[in-house]
Amino acid sequence: MPSAPVCLRVRWFAAIGLTGALTMSVAACGGMTAGTITIGVKFDQPGLGMKNPDGTMSGFDVDVARYVAQQLGYTAANVVWVEAPSGQREALIRNGQVNYVVATYSITDARKQKVGFAGPYLVAGQSLLVRADQTGITGPQSLQHNKKLCSVAGSTPAQRIKDTYPGVQLQRYDTYSACIEALKNGAIDAVTTDDVILAGYSAQSPGTFKLVGKPFSREEYGIGLKRENLTLRHKIDDAIEKMERDGSWQAAFAKNLGASGYPTPKPPKVNRY
Ligand code: GLU
């Protein structure tokens, strides 16, 4: 793991009693402890990455993250979960606060300048969620007429609206769950992000929301990690391929998203760049 050499150095400094150096080296571990693996996921996206009221973690991303960790030699008990909101993913990776991120994280050229990606392990598409009784919104074009749209800072859907539909009143929140609350109470008229995420929220509140229009982008979800760590990237690619081959991918999708009505997609081909 990327933290291992740094953390080994900690032990060496500790052994010779250099307490000043010890403090510095612990900081260089980025909050990660030897023997555990630290993974960034969403905490508020049902079906994908959820921290449940009892403290347990669930979702398709969580299951992918766990499977990969197991392939890397870590048990479920040795996984440390860190919340990775959309706008903080690159920083969490670059600052060494997580070993990798599995958080509905689209592979893009701009992000590839900053971080590396294994995968993809799932393909989704940008869509719109509205209240069930809404009839005036049928697709991104219909948002131009004084409708308030919510998305999340640092996400590809927010960027795409800004670039392609500059006339739309876009509000950028920190999380999609905050957008969903605002949609429920009428503060905004629609939420945009990937269809699979919207399907997860919709399933959580039956009869309250509906997805509208056709998906208008291709979002290939990757596992984000340090750009220079090619060894880890290749190991994660191997793990994703194994998960897709041995049926665990299909089982995880059915378990987490089967009830959402989102059609089960084909597992994508891992793209080793
Ligand atoms: N897949 C998109 C992205 O990576 C939207 C979902 C998200 O914000 O997590 O930005």
Structure pTM? 0.89
Instruction: Examine the pLDDT at 175 and tell me if it is beyond 80.
Output: yes
Minimum-distance ligand 1 atom for the alpha carbon of 159 = 10
pLDDT score at 17 = 36
pLDDT score at 273 = 79
For the stretch 8-19, pLDDT in tens is: 333 333 333 333
Minimum-distance ligand 1 atom for the alpha carbon of 152 = 8
For the stretch 53-76, pLDDT in tens is: 999 999 999 999 999 999 999 999
Instruction: Examine the pLDDT at 51 and tell me if it is beyond 90.
Output: yes
Q: Kindly state the average pLDDT of the residues 191-204.
A: 97
Instruction: Examine the pLDDT at 134 and tell me if it is beyond 50.
Output: yes
Strands 126-131 and 100-101: unpaired
* Domains defined along the chain, listed by start: 37-124+221-260 (3.40.190.10), 126-212 (3.40.190.10)
pLDDT score at 46 = 98
Atom 8 of ligand 1, nearest CA residue? 155
Ligand 1 centroid to Cα of residue 232, in Å, is 22
Ligand 1 centroid to Cα of residue 153, in Å, is 10
Q: Where are the alpha helices (DSSP H) in 72-148?
A: 89-94, 109-112
Pocket residues: Cβ below 6 A from ligand 1: 86, 103-106, 152, 155-157, 193-194, 197, 219
For the stretch 157-170, pLDDT in tens is: 999 999 999 999 99
Minimum-distance ligand 1 atom for the alpha carbon of 86 = 8
CA distance 15 to 26: 14
pLDDT score at 146 = 87
pLDDT score at 32 = 66
Which of 65, 92, 59, 81 has its CA nearest to residue 197?
59
Pocket test for ligand 1, best of 62, 159, 193 (most atoms within 8 A of CB): 193
